[in-house]
Amino acid sequence: MQLTAPQAAEHLHKHKQISLHDPEDEASKLDLVEYWRSITKRKWAILALGLVVALLAGVIVFALTPVYRATTTVLIESSKKQVVSIEDVYSGMGQSREYFQTQVEIIKSREVAMRTINALKLWDYPEFDPRTKEKGQWQELQEKLGIAETAEPKDWTTTALADAVYGKFNRQLSIEPVRLSQLAKINFESSSPALSALVANTIANTYIENDLDARYKMTKQASGWLQERLSSLKTKLDESERNLQNYREKAGIVDVKGASQSGAGKQIEEVTQRLVETRLRRAEAENAYNQIKSVGKNGDYSSLPAVVRNNNVSEALKAQGEAERTMSEVAQRYGFEHPKYVAAEANLKSARENVKRQVESVVGSVTREYEVAVGTERALEGTLNSARGSIQSLNRKEFELGVLEREVSSNRQIYDMFMTRAKETNVAGDLQSAVARVVDVAVVPDKPVKPQKAQIIVIAFVLGLFLGVLVALLLDRLDNTIKTTEDVEAKLKTPLLTTLPLLDKRDTDRLSSARLFVDHPESIYSEAIRTARTGVLLSAIDVPNRILLVTSSLPGEGKTTFSINLALAHAQTKRTLLIDADMRRPSIAKGLDLAPGAKGLSNLAAGTAKLDDCLQAVPGSSLSVLSSGPIPPNALEILLSQKFKALLDELATIYEVIVIDSPPVELVSDALVISSYATGVIYTIKAAETPYQLARKGLQRIRRAEGEILGVVLNRFDFKRAEKYHGEYSGYGKYGYGKDGYQGGYGQAQANSLGKDAKKAA
């Protein structure tokens, strides 16, 4: 589909905005992909580094002395079967894991190690002989050169040799407890297989013998201490028994608990019981006595409870009632003088006197009973107090007696215990059982355990690869050049105008590369120039005349070659002038093989020549070239002059497109001056060589000089390498050209159409 010039301009503008402001495009590429590309880019170097490291590791491990390991397995008896138990003599042989761990540490102790070293005389073996290492190579070299004084030979004693061997011996010894068991493995490593087995077995035997010796010494020490304590305890026991017997005789106590204490106790119990009963009787009698006393001496006692409850009084009252009834019957029948009346009256009188006598008898008995009860109570209280005093005296004596008895009992128990322990210790001295026993003796190993050559080489190879990967990633992180088209927009914040491919070696000379667009119009380079031409035409459609400044950061970035080819491309459709404004190092005339020494810009700006005398034509093209001319001493002053500005204005009226090749921005300020006159600036950078900080600085300087930047040209871009290592996909690199022009990317017809539409719009 054909695009009109405004549509093409709008399409390019949107494409630039998306490239500059769409963060999704930047986020779409994962860091892992970038890392993978960094690795694949240097995969052969990484692989070579891994092989080199593996080779060095192989050389080292094959040069190392092989180390053999022998293992002796011992069973630590945490629960010993003993004929006689003397746990109090020894310090807690527990059943816990702490005891097992303690025994493991004892096996690793210095005492066991030194006894093993001395038993085997390890200093006589070359591997452990410290006398062969008395002088190092550096010391010997210093003595030969006379730098250091000759050291006197050391006087090696047995103790000194053992101390010197201990360090290496301890490093080569390891104890490995077997999980969930009472087994421990004694491992010893040595360059000699026989020595490793010998040392492992000797350590186990030395540990067992050392424990037996320690137990024997403890038994003897405990036995001596017990004998000393027994003599003093026997004397103390005899003294306490004599004191007990003397006190018994002095206090007259035969059987305290059976005789004296039990008799006094029974007496107190009986007296106390009688006293309680007497107090009850006295209380009853006292109550009756108080009632009688309250009635008075001549009062009526017949209603008192004590009187009423008396049987004799009741019988007398009953007889009195019977006499009164008989008297009443006789009085109704007979007269006062009748014998029956007289007899009944005498009987009634006698009954009443009997009642009176009985009441008086009861009152008298209550009074006597009260007095007797009070006397009895007082007597019993006296007896009880006397018995209590006797018991208290006995208790005090028995308390003192109990103290003496307890002292005798305590001394006897201590003495018996020590006597028992002394006998047990004497017996245990002859019945010592070992704390451990060897379950599996060490045998001479037939294979070394170190170095594990294959494993070390593989690990070294992996580490070499890992190191290579780190170096590759680090190099990419440290690489601050522009490597991809995405870097241009991401790091420079400037749109990409076009990407120029890396040229073949036959096209790298100045003459060949300067005329690529004319000589090889079907090449990828020419198509990239057309893309730049189209971008320039679409960037400012309403501007009738364009002054384009081409510059770069440093020399050698391809700005001159691009300027020539861009001018040749514009010359196909527009009146175009190419100006060489690099008056310090001009190169356009040489690149186009023009006449050397011809008049040029310096002459025209100075007014010493006319325009027609300074212009040169390019064979095979309508392009006009204004070379730099003779190199002036004051190039910057010429560019700053009003004559140069007027010259550009005059040339803009003659030519539709003016392409100016200027010096690099970082060397001189010529490009900054010209950028203010130009309608657009094209900045050239060299792919994978130009640091983006330097390019960013040059672009900022041009903007501060009020230059309008059209875009960046990425020169010498290796499409194949970018596609392989950076994921850059391009129609140039992937499809190339066919016999009919483009087969991918922008079509030739579409590019030409855009150019024609832009020309019509202009």
Per-residue pLDDT at 497: 93
Q: Does residue 470 form part of some domain?
A: yes
Q: Bridge partners of 74? A: 184, 438
Peptide bond into 445 cis (omega under 30): no
CB 82 within 8 A of CB 431: yes
Mean pLDDT of the region 101-112: 89
Computed over every residue of the chain, the mean pLDDT equals 78
Regarding whether 424 and 279 lie in a shared domain, the answer is: yes
Same domain assignment for residues 496 and 510: yes
- pLDDT on residue 746: 36
Name the token pair of 134: 């008395």
253-270 b/e (C-beta count within 10 Å ≥ 16 → b): beebeeebbeebeebbee
Instruction: Determine what percent of the chain is predicted with pLDDT higher than 90.
Output: 32
Three-state secondary structure call for residue 181: coil
Report pLDDT digits (tens) over 422-478. 666 655 555 456 677 888 898 999 888 888 888 999 999 999 999 999 988 888 778
Which residues, at least 6 apart from 315, have a Cβ–Cβ distance to it below 8 Å? 358
399, 548: one domain: no
Whether residue 445 is contained in a domain is answered as no
Contacts of 543 (CB under 8 A, 6+ apart): 679, 762
The answer to whether the beta carbons of residues 596 and 627 sit under 8 Å apart is no
Q: Please give the average per-residue pLDDT across 19-46, as a whole number.
A: 65
Distance of CA 670 to the CA centre of its chain: 62
Q: What is the mean pLDDT of residues 384-396?
A: 69
Mean pLDDT lowest among 7-16, 44-53, 496-505: 7-16
- Over residues 487-538, the pLDDT tens digits come to 888 889 899 999 999 887 665 566 778 889 998 899 999 999 999 999 998 8
**Is 234 part of a structural domain of the chain?**
no
Per-residue pLDDT, averaged over 337-347, amounts to 81
308 and 389 belong to one structural domain: yes
Query: Same domain for 473 and 486?
Result: no
Contact predicate 549/683, CB 8 Å: no
Which of 21-35, 82-96, 739-753 is the most confident on average?
A: 21-35
pLDDT tens string 551-602: 999 998 999 999 999 999 999 999 999 999 999 899 999 889 888 888 999 9
Determine how β-strand 657-661 pairs with β-strand 576-580: parallel
Torsion angle, alpha carbons of 53, 58, 59, 61, to 10: 120
Please tell me whether residues 150 and 292 are part of one structural domain: no
User: What is the structure's pLDDT at 373?
Assistant: 80
Question: pLDDT tens digits, residue range 634-645?
Answer: 889 999 999 999
d(C-alpha 663, C-alpha 651), whole Å = 20
pLDDT at residue 578, rounded to an integer: 96
Tell me the CATH number at 529: 3.40.50.300
Number of domains in the chain: 4
Q: 734 or 647: whose pLDDT is higher?
A: 647
Query: Of 161, 167, 136, which is closest to residue 151 (Cα–Cα)?
Result: 136
Q: What pLDDT was estimated at residue 249?
A: 63
Length of the chain: 762
Q: What is the CA radius of gyration of the chain?
A: 67
User: What percentage of the chain reaches a pLDDT higher than 70?
Assistant: 75
Whether 86 is covered by a domain: the verdict is yes
Which of 57-61, 94-98, 134-138, 721-725 is least confident? Answer: 134-138
User: Does one domain contain both 384 and 527?
Assistant: no
Alpha-carbon span 29 to 345, nearest angstrom = 154
Q: Which of 393, 428, 463 corresponds to the end of one domain?
A: 428
| pLDDT at residue 7 tops 90 | no
**Average pLDDT of the residues in 90-96:** 47
Higher pLDDT, 713 or 485: 713
**Whole domain around residue 184: which residue ranges?**
68-223+433-440
Question: Residue 407 corresponds to which tokens in the numbers above?
Answer: 């002292």
pLDDT digits (tens, 9 = 90+) for 257-297: 444 455 666 777 777 888 788 878 778 777 777 767 666 66
Q: Model's pTM, two decimal places?
A: 0.50
Instruction: Compute the Cα dihedral for 19, 20, 23, 27 and give only its sign.
Output: positive
Q: What is the mean pLDDT of residues 166-195?
A: 91
711 and 602: one domain?
yes
What span, in angstroms and rounded, lies between the C-alpha atoms of 673 and 670? 5
Do 596 and 545 fall into the same domain?
Answer: yes
pLDDT confidence of 753, banded at 50, 70, 90? very low
For residues 557 and 687, membership in a common domain is answered with yes
- 292-323 confidence digits (pLDDT tens): 766 666 666 666 776 667 777 778 778 878 88
Question: What is the rounded distance in angstroms from the CA atom of residue 210 to the CA atom of residue 206?
Answer: 6
Q: Binning pLDDT at 50, 70 and 90, where does residue 705 land?
A: very high
35 lies in a domain? no
**Predicted confidence band of residue 93 (pLDDT cuts 50, 70, 90):** very low
Does 600 reside within a domain? yes
* pLDDT reported for residue 426: 59
Collapsed DSSP state (helix, strand, coil) of residue 745: coil
Domain-embedded: residue 617? yes
Tell me: do 411 and 376 sit in the same domain: yes
What's residue 412's pLDDT?
A: 77
Question: Does a structural domain hold residue 249?
Answer: no
Residue 91 above 80 pLDDT?
A: no
Spatial separation of the C-alpha atoms in residues 663 and 666, rounded to whole Å: 9
| pLDDT value of residue 78 | 66
pLDDT score at 725: 53
pLDDT band at 728 (very low <50, low <70, confident <90, very high): low
Mean pLDDT of 646-662: 94
Q: Which residue has the tokens 């008075």?
A: 296
DSSP codes joined into one string, 58-92:
HHHHHHSPPBEEEEEEEEE-SS---SS--TTTTT-
Q: Are residues 501 and 567 in the same domain?
A: yes
